Amino acid sequence: MNEMIETQQTYGQLHIQHFFETIIFTYQWWLLLVVSIGLWVIWALLVDKRRLNAILLVGLLVSLMALAFDEIGILLALWAYDYYLVPFTSKLYPVDLAIVPVFFMLLYQYVRAWKPYLLVLTLLTLFAVIVAEPLFVALDIYILLVWEHWYSAPIYILMGIFVKWLVDKVVGEKR
């Protein structure tokens, strides 16, 4: 255990040093900041306030799942991130706490019936694995170690199905 603690301390120091020497104020860092804030502003302008509790529940559940999957992926060295917003984590919070939840909340808000929901969920998933994830790789933000973009597709689909099913059950929606 002592060896793991020492390794973690060394890693933490290197991680923080890397952030302040290499990451902060780069165009990737600014992009992550603008995307994070911008998506939440757009969401705030578009959200259906009458359904706010259900929509926020979708966002919370999706964020928790994204954070858990990210933790597992990083721990198993499936992927890594070379750019992040804050120095005290190796997770890509703009994805886990902005991009993924905002898109899932807007999907839940605007597409209520199951058949169109599944269609739009599939289209958003294809966009994520064909466009968004490769773009983050091209920008050197996301580093694939033993992961392939298409591995993410079933995860996005299953998250979308599970969250819609659960939130519909909790709020009593029947569509």
Cα dihedral 96, 102, 103, 108 sign: positive
Looking at residue 174, its pLDDT comes to: 66
- What is the per-residue pLDDT for 160? 98
Q: For the residues of 97-163, what is the DSSP string, one character each?
A: IIIHHHHHHHHHHH--SHHHHHHHHHHHHHHIIIIIHHHHHHTTSEEESS--GGGHHHHHHHHHHHH
Q: How confident is the prediction along the chain (175 residues), in pLDDT tens digits per residue?
A: 999 999 999 999 999 999 999 999 999 999 999 999 999 999 999 999 999 999 999 999 999 999 999 999 999 999 999 999 999 888 899 999 999 999 999 999 999 999 999 999 999 999 999 999 999 999 999 999 999 999 999 999 999 999 999 999 999 876 6
Task: Identify the pLDDT of residue 172.
Answer: 86
CA–CA gap between residue 95 and residue 101 (Å, rounded):
8
Backbone angles phi, psi at 142, to 5 degrees: -115, 125
Question: Which of 158, 57, 39, 48 has the alpha carbon at shortest distance from 93?
Answer: 39
Residue 147: its pLDDT value, please? 97
Beta strand segments in the chain, E: 79-81, 142-144
* Structure-token pair, residue 75: 């721990």
pLDDT for 37 equals 98
The per-residue pLDDT for 167 is 98
Whether the CB-CB separation of 78 and 145 falls below 8 Å is answered with yes
Three-class SS state of 131: helix
